[in-house]
Amino acid sequence: MVSNYLIFFLSYFLIVLSVIGHGFLAIKLSKINISNHEIGFVGLVGIFFLIIYSYLTHFFISHGYLHNILILSVGIISLYNFRNKVFNKQNITYIFCVFSIIFLAFVIFKTHDDFGYYHFPYSYYLNKFPMIIGIGPLNLGFRTPSSIFYLNSLFYFPYIEYYLYHISVILIMGFSNIILISNIKNHLEKEKNNQFFFLNFLTFIFINIFFYRIAEHGTDRSAQILIFLFLIYILSLRGNYQNFGNILPKLIILLGIIISIKSFYVLYLIFLIPFIYYLILDKKKNLIPKIFNNPLFYFSIFLGLCVVLVYFFNTGCLLYPIQQTCITAVEWSIPKTEVSALNTHYQWWSKAGGGPGYRSPIEPEIYIQNFKWVSNWIDRYFFNKVSDFLLSLTLVSIIFILMFKSGKLKLKKSSFQYNSIYYYLILLLFFEWFLQHPSLRYGGYIIISLIFFIPLSFFLSQYKIQNNFKLKVVSLCLLTVLIFLGRNIDRIIYENKFYKANFKENMLFYTDKIHFRIHDQLNEFSKNFQDCNFDKDKCLNNKDYIIKRSNGKLIIIKIRN
């Protein structure tokens, strides 16, 4: 048992350090304006460029053992070359403490409900095959891939194999925590309790208490963690763009990763409207050219192009499941009628039309229209998921007001007018969320939390710092860590009893034939194509699919009835 855990623990930290090494290498080569002391953002830069690399290379090769060992080694060598910038007391403390604590969440048996369905199979497909065109019809989840899967595919190694597939969400959560802790610490040292401080503090508490269970992250919660950071940094400008050069690369990195995780979050580009508007108004500083002169801007566009190409080669649509973006002229394209039906299905599911053990008697097309779904949604989803969430946010808000409302107001100009524009946009997104996809996992956590946190942080920032202010902040941080550890320990005990997980022997999550069904099907297609003698360019594999090869690429075409 000891050797097993030791191997995983060492591999875990080697990956963390390698990602940081890739971050420093990317910063050096691209001349990105991010300080060496901002080790959390260095990690996110590493993630950003590894995602771009993974998308690009998979068009041509699979991410097998040798390939991944090489990528890991490049990161470690880079880390060694930049060791003077990395290995200072503060960076080492942040990296070791944060990722050691989060490692407990990495010990997992029961995975996300969608993990075996398509998270694992897609990541494993990237390890075993270069891009196969038309793979979308094999699995609904393969039609909406995430950069989480592409990042996962780089952490497939001998002996450990695919048991590090959860580390991508760990990396995002870990580096985000380092950023938040660093921001909180800097404000405490300067004795500032502005809105930026309270948003960081509330976000730190929120993600570690509400998102403590890694198995529930899927492809949604990681993006929502980064959206918290994105909005914190936009709001931190407060109409003062003296720090614009430092914040711009952070905004681009965050937005690039967010949208690549799930294209649905392209909706959050709406927050750039007032941002760009303020830049245009402030003509004296010539801030707009700084965006176009920043290499990250073009890397983010390239990443977006890679995401669109993957959608296209998987489904024939540029943005699935929006049928208007589907190009039916390509032979592997999914019919628009099927795309439209699945779009309806996603809305039906998010509006509580169906779930484990039940299904609304109303047809999905009718159910989602004209608020017919609201009463059922309130009964089956609002109570108790949303209501419990609202009660928890209310409790957090009350605790903060009781602890940090000093009774002594500051004498300073209010910044609420600037923040109110973003608050109205959040309310607009809330109505879009409620009308189209009212599930907490589809952006509900971040939207509802910010509706609470933005006015709360503004309200608390209007009061003077108390004598015991630092003690209260440190106490709440330690309490948050204890809750995170306690809830994960409780989860491990529960998994050991309920699922008979033998954590004494290993820390590996559960797998069965379902996890490998797409891989086995692709192996069958590939083998049958190689054995096909009657046509070197096309082989009828079975009654459902035609397998072709064009310019070295395997193409899967579903036969339509």
Query: Looking at this protein, which amino acid is placed at residue 111?
Result: T
Q: CB 477: neighbour CB atoms within 10 A?
A: 18
Range name among 167-181, 448-462, 493-507, 510-524 with the lowest pLDDT average: 493-507
pLDDT at 276: 81
pLDDT at 273: 86
Averaged over 362-391, what is the pLDDT? 93
pLDDT at 15: 97
Query: Looking at this protein, which amino acid is placed at residue 300?
Result: S
Please determine, for residue 53, whether its predicted confidence score (pLDDT) is greater than 80.
yes
The answer to whether position 342 is within a domain reads no
What span, in angstroms and rounded, lies between the C-alpha atoms of 192 and 189? 8
pLDDT at 285: 64
Please determine, for residue 534, whether its predicted confidence score (pLDDT) is greater than 60.
no
Residue 240 — pLDDT band, cuts 50, 70, 90? low
pLDDT at 541: 58
pLDDT at 235: 85
pTM (2 decimals)?
0.94
The answer to whether position 335 is within a domain reads no
Select the more confidently predicted residue: 308 or 89: 308
The answer to whether position 74 is within a domain reads yes
Does 387 share its domain with 277? no
Residue pair 340/323 in contact (Cβ under 8 Å)? The answer is: yes
Select the more confidently predicted residue: 411 or 141: 141
Please determine, for residue 364, whether its predicted confidence score (pLDDT) is greater than 70.
yes
Averaged over 29-35, what is the pLDDT? 81
Give the DSSP letter string of 452-471: HHHHHHHHHHTBPPPTTHHH
Kindly report, residue by residue over 76-116, the tens digit of the pLDDT: 999 999 988 888 888 999 999 999 999 999 988 988 888 99
Averaged over 11-34, what is the pLDDT? 92
Percent of the chain with pLDDT over 70: 93
Coil, helix or strand for 38?
coil
Residue 472 — pLDDT band, cuts 50, 70, 90? very high
Does 297 share its domain with 419? no
Averaged over 253-261, what is the pLDDT? 95
Does 535 share its domain with 439? no
Please determine, for residue 537, whether its predicted confidence score (pLDDT) is greater than 60.
no
Does 455 share its domain with 497? no
Please determine, for residue 300, whether its predicted confidence score (pLDDT) is greater than 90.
yes
Q: What's the domain count of the chain? A: 3
% helix, strand, coil for the chain, step of 5: 70, 5, 25
Query: Distance between the two ends of the chain, CA-based, in angstroms?
Result: 53
Percent of the chain with pLDDT over 90: 60
Please determine, for residue 457, whether its predicted confidence score (pLDDT) is greater than 80.
yes
The answer to whether position 87 is within a domain reads yes
pLDDT at 432: 94
The partner residues of 409 in beta bridges, in order of sequence, read 463
Averaged over 347-360, what is the pLDDT? 87
Q: Which of 414, 446, 469 is the last residue of a domain?
A: 469
Please determine, for residue 44, whether its predicted confidence score (pLDDT) is greater than 70.
yes
Please determine, for residue 42, whether its predicted confidence score (pLDDT) is greater than 50.
yes
What span, in angstroms and rounded, lies between the C-alpha atoms of 288 and 294? 10
Residue pair 141/119 in contact (Cβ under 8 Å)? The answer is: yes
Averaged over 348-367, what is the pLDDT? 88
Residue pair 465/198 in contact (Cβ under 8 Å)? The answer is: no
The answer to whether position 340 is within a domain reads no
Strands 545-550 and 538-540: antiparallel
Does 175 share its domain with 130? yes
The answer to whether position 27 is within a domain reads yes
pLDDT at 518: 93
Does 295 share its domain with 385? no
Does 248 share its domain with 129? yes
Averaged over 47-69, what is the pLDDT? 97
Distance of CA 560 to the CA centre of its chain: 35
pLDDT at 198: 94
Length reported for the chain? 561
Kindly report, residue by residue over 143-201, the tens digit of the pLDDT: 999 999 999 999 999 989 999 999 999 999 999 999 999 999 998 888 777 889 999 99
CA atoms within 13 A on the CB side of 411: 0
Please determine, for residue 23, whether its predicted confidence score (pLDDT) is greater than 60.
yes
Mean pLDDT of the chain, nearest integer: 89
Does 439 share its domain with 489? no
Residue 418 — pLDDT band, cuts 50, 70, 90? low
pLDDT at 1: 46
What span, in angstroms and rounded, lies between the C-alpha atoms of 245 and 247? 6
Going from the C-alpha of 226 to that of each of 1, 254, 457, 505, the distances in angstroms are 35, 6, 19, 35
Does 129 share its domain with 230? yes
Residue pair 75/22 in contact (Cβ under 8 Å)? The answer is: yes
Does 393 share its domain with 496? no
Coil, helix or strand for 359?
strand
**Which letter, b or e, does each residue of 349-365 get, where b requires 16 or more Cβ atoms within 10 Å of its Cβ?**
bbbbbeeeeeebeeebe
Residue pair 219/262 in contact (Cβ under 8 Å)? The answer is: yes
The answer to whether position 333 is within a domain reads no
Give the DSSP letter string of 468-484: THHHHHHHHHHHHHHHH
Does 532 share its domain with 497? no
The answer to whether position 398 is within a domain reads yes
pLDDT at 195: 87
pLDDT at 412: 55
Residue 311's H or E segment, with its range, is helix 295-315
Residue 250 — pLDDT band, cuts 50, 70, 90? very high
| Helix ranges, 319-410 (H) | 336-350, 364-367, 374-377, 387-404
Residue pair 333/327 in contact (Cβ under 8 Å)? The answer is: yes
Residue pair 477/468 in contact (Cβ under 8 Å)? The answer is: no
Residue pair 238/415 in contact (Cβ under 8 Å)? The answer is: yes
Domain with 142 in it: 2-321+470-506
Residue 555 — pLDDT band, cuts 50, 70, 90? confident
Query: Looking at this protein, which amino acid is placed at residue 418?
Result: Y
pLDDT at 406: 79
Does 157 share its domain with 274? yes
Please determine, for residue 414, whether its predicted confidence score (pLDDT) is greater than 60.
no
Please determine, for residue 376, whether its predicted confidence score (pLDDT) is greater than 90.
yes
